[in-house]
Amino acid sequence: MFRRAPAGPTVRAMSSRARARELEPQSVISSEMAAIESDYRRAGVEETQPRLDYPPYRGSLLRHPTRDPCDVDPEAIERWAPCFGARDVDPLEADLTVGHAGEPVGERVVVTGRVVDGDGRPVRGQLVEIWQANAAGRYVHRRDQHPAPLDPHFTGAGRCLTDGDGWYRFQTIKPGPYPWRNHCNAWRPAHIHFSVFGAAFTQRLVTQMYFPGDPLFAFDPIYQSITDRRARDRLVATYDHGLTSHEWALGYRWDIVLTGGQPTYVEAGELV
Amino acid sequence: MTLTATPGQTVGPFFHYGLAYDGDCVLVPPGSPGSVLLRGQVLDGAGVAVRDALVEIWQTRPDGSVPRDVGSLRRDGWSFTGFGRACTGQDGRYVFSTLVPGAGKPGRPAFFAVTVFARGLSNRLFTRAYLPHDDAALAGDPLLSALPPRRRATLLASRDERGFVFDIHLQGANETVFLRYPGQ
């Protein structure tokens, strides 16, 4: 009597190959990305933010506004940001490697940097939130169907408040690259999602931090939706041996600049 | 300005466990005195509900002042922080329980400041959901008065029996007016 083989990796890989036949090849996406970057260089006008209209990122096709935004002067409420304090965030939330029964699998890292405004002034006491995949590239999310293992010792969400000089600091594990279905054989470079509040509502930022030297950068339409290479580089952390600790964790430095809206600067607690 | 802003990136599909939290969309307890609902639907260019969007609001108190209370992440039930966050559901709908914002200045229209994030949206979008009831103030608003009627209408919440309704069209004929602030 034979038992039916469980739907193991081979079966799953086969069905994944069948699904992949419906998707466009990387070469199509890559040539679209190359054409856009080449046009951008020829135009010679610097862009510092991602393009909302970036067709190689297929999920954006019906989700990007087609009209230019309206220029507006911020009103009082927009010149301020929500206040967060010790009540909101437990210091332990900055360490993604604790809070479970054991140590998560993966390369332990410290990610730290300063949040500043366009003049280099620190953004103090503001909320930084992160979320990420585990070391195998799997998110703790019901919609993530990537057949990589979940880690019972890793959730992958953290928070902290910036200190008086704008510093944030997280301890976590390095996330793995992650496959998605934008096209056939699409893989996201390893990244940590960041959500940051500034000194004003107008400075609100959600972005992704990447690790230096990732071989997937050139293939990824989300990263490449920023058409300017220097601007893309601003999302890549720097390996910092001074932040690396003996027999413990590798250190990465990543600073964040928030601009826009000419916020009103006052001392904490003072109202204008 | 000497430094260049860090670029944004999409919030992606898996933000829920990183950004959602208990009470995120409940600025005041539903049914408490003065509470209203602000609700709506996020739609794409084909009119299809966006089920993986995140909407944030930031608003004045009913007297028009700017809230300075902490506690949006762990609400105490009585402080009004002015900040809320709501993930859209399978039907693209979001809802907040909150207070009616007041005008920041006399004679100016009141609005909710709104930020929208979604999978497929490469950067956050800013907009305003204006309260519909003060015609004189709305007519004098520099942003609204510069817009043709159809575009202007996308910034006006509508009133219903429980509060306000504000749909967000990311694209299409009724595309919402999105905002750019100086320095962006």
Q: Which helix (H) or strand (E) holds A200?
A: none
Contact across the interface for A262 and B170, Cβ inside 8 Å: no
Domain residues for the domain of B94 are 15-169
Give the pLDDT confidence score for residue A7 in this predicted structure.
47
Angle at B15 between CA B14 and CA B18, to 5 degrees: 120
Residue A266 has pLDDT above 60, yes or no: no
Residue A3 has pLDDT above 60, yes or no: no
Mean pLDDT value across chain B = 97
Residue B178 has pLDDT above 50, yes or no: yes
Give the pLDDT confidence score for residue A180 in this predicted structure.
96
CB pairs under 8 A between A and B: 258
Give the pLDDT confidence score for residue B103 in this predicted structure.
96
Question: What percent of chain B shows pLDDT beyond 90?
Answer: 97
Give the pLDDT confidence score for residue A234 in this predicted structure.
98
Give the pLDDT confidence score for residue B37 in this predicted structure.
98
The C-alpha of B85 sits at a distance from chain A's nearest C-alpha, in angstroms, of 12
Is B164 domain-assigned?
A: yes
Is B3 domain-assigned?
A: no
Residue A29 has pLDDT above 50, yes or no: yes
Tell me the residue ranges of DSSP E strands in chain A. Answer: 70-71, 108-117, 127-132, 157-161, 167-173, 178-180, 186-188, 191-196, 205-210, 238-239, 250-253, 256-258
Give the pLDDT confidence score for residue A145 in this predicted structure.
82
The C-alpha of B46 sits at a distance from chain A's nearest C-alpha, in angstroms, of 7
Closest A-chain CA to B155: A70
pLDDT tens digits for A108-162? Answer: 999 999 999 999 999 999 999 999 999 999 998 888 888 899 999 999 999 999 9
Is B8 domain-assigned?
A: no
pLDDT tens digits for A168-209? Answer: 999 999 999 999 999 999 999 999 999 999 999 999 999 999
pLDDT tens digits for B91-117? Answer: 999 999 999 999 999 999 999 999 999
Say how many domains are in chain B.
1
Please tell me the distance from the alpha carbon of residue A221 to that of residue A206, in angstroms, as a whole number.
Answer: 17
Active site residue A169: no
Answer whether A250's CB lies under 8 Å from A239's CB. yes
Angle at A56 between CA A51 and CA A57, to 5 degrees: 70
Active site residue A191: yes
Give the pLDDT confidence score for residue A143 in this predicted structure.
84
The C-alpha of B15 sits at a distance from chain A's nearest C-alpha, in angstroms, of 7
Residues 6+ apart with CB under 8 A from A15: none
Contact across the interface for A77 and B125, Cβ inside 8 Å: no
Mutation site for B-interface testing, chosen from A47, A72, A119, A228 by largest number of B Cβ within 10 Å: A72
- ipTM for the complex? 0.97
Question: What percent of chain A shows pLDDT beyond 90?
Answer: 84
Q: What is the CATH number of the domain that holds B25?
A: 2.60.130.10
Q: Which chain A positions have a beta carbon within 8 Å of B5's beta carbon? A: 48-49, 118, 205, 257-260
Give the pLDDT confidence score for residue A141 in this predicted structure.
85
Is B83 domain-assigned?
A: yes
Reported as a pLDDT band with limits 50, 70 and 90, residue A13 is: low
Separation in Å, CA B37 to CA A257, B26, B160, B164: 35, 9, 9, 6
Contact across the interface for B60 and A76, Cβ inside 8 Å: yes
Please tell me the distance from the alpha carbon of residue A154 to that of residue A147, in angstroms, as a whole number.
Answer: 17
Is B6 domain-assigned?
A: no
Q: Which chain B positions have a beta carbon within 8 Å of A71's beta carbon? A: 179-182
Is B112 domain-assigned?
A: yes
Contact across the interface for A139 and B14, Cβ inside 8 Å: yes
Contact of A51 with chain B, judged by CB distance below 8 Å, is answered with yes
Residue A272 has pLDDT above 50, yes or no: no
Tell me the whole-structure pTM to 2 decimals: 0.94
Is B107 domain-assigned?
A: yes
Is B10 domain-assigned?
A: no
